[in-house]
Amino acid sequence: MQSITATALLQKINAKEDLQLIDVREPEEHEEFNIGGELIPLGGIAQQVEKIATDKPVIIYCRKGIRSQIAIQRLQEKFPFTNLVNLIGGTEAWKKTFTPD
């Protein structure tokens, strides 16, 4: 499974690289804090597969990186994705890296 750190992801965002961010958390988690990803909760991701790009990197994230790993595994089992990337540590790693205490 491909993965990326929060620091490397921010570099890609700042460089305006063509990528898609998908948040697989629940709506209330997304409203509380998000890094700009499109909300597609884990439970319904296979039903919304048409929203997921196939022609560019798709970074999938959750709170700690577990649900995003599950989402990637489920998608790769059912569909021919080769462009899915897990954000290591999820939004918790993002906050720890970029949000001062």
Residues noted as catalytic: 62
> How many other C-beta atoms are found inside a 10 Å radius of the C-beta of residue 22?
24
* H/E element, 10: helix 6-14
Nearest in space to 94 (alpha carbons), one of 14, 35, 26: 35
